[in-house]
Structure 1
Amino acid sequence: MGRDWKHLADTVAAARKTKKLTQVALAEEADVSVATIQNLESGRTRDKVPTTMHKVEQALGWTRGSGARVLEGGEPEYQEPEQQVPDRREETAPPPSDLPLRIVHELQDGPLLDATVLDLGGAGSQARMIVVVKGAPDASPEQIRADLLAWAKTQKHLQNLPADEEPDEAGN
């Protein structure tokens, strides 16, 4: 029997949904790219198993080699609960209480797509701007891709803003 990439795709997606994870959250848990998860769940035939499959298996609570078993038409074997990777989302510290309520609410809603710190410093300044990019809670892979493309354009724009303009005395 040949490799059944559709069976692997369906099994990975079902396991992810059982764990109530988005593709982005599973990618974070497995420490792989979102594209890796999207490609696995696409069912597209490929020449070889991704080298990061063991990370996805671990994040799903599967034993090592379960992905290969599923490709051959079988089912994954699950790790004993004490062997499973803890859910890192539960270990995330709550946002600092001195943040505005609107920001705290936004940080809790939807998957984290990206974050960056931009140095605002001019002469002698150590000011920084922190940008957190969040997606819609139930965003499709296509929407996440579109959101990341929009962020990439915005990030380029932010990084290319001229730093030599001095604000007026009133700070306007």
Structure 2
Amino acid sequence: MAYDWKRLGKALKAARRAPGVDLTQEEIAEELGLGRSVIQLIEAGNEYRKPTPSIRAYASRVGWVDGSIERVLAGGHPVLVGADEESRAGQADAADPTADAGLPVRIVHELKGRGELLDTAVIPLGDGGSMVVVVKGKPGASPEEIARNLEAWREAHGQLLELDYRKAADRDERRDA
């Protein structure tokens, strides 16, 4: 999954400057026991493999609940501490594209799980049905590992499409007989 670190940096900066928080970079850095340069890197959208403890401390200090960092990185909005349950649910749902998808819990868990999204495909099953495939790599995979995963996926994708073509040919053969 591609995270939007610049979006996170802008959101944290806005939260730091918001009424009720209204801190300078120096003040928040001092409160968190960090250097100002760390705050500057976070707010500039520096990319990390995953949210760091410093980013989590920053988010907590500006009033974000757990999970807000991931919501913002994925394109959603943070949930503030003290937000009522209805507001929290609405904010979480807006940030979670799987919330109303009606997907099984196991699939939602895998989609939200760690690892980079490498590819997706929709495989026709005939008679209007289809299969959706999501290909993910392991967290922190090297470029070589990603390349191997994608090559394995290309092979599997070809086999899946071939199965569909054979099934369609068999159906046509039965119809013609």
State if a TM-score over 0.5 links the two structures. no
- Which structure features the higher share of helix residues? 2
* Bigger Rg, which one: 2
TM-score by length of 2: 0.42
TM-score by length of 1: 0.43
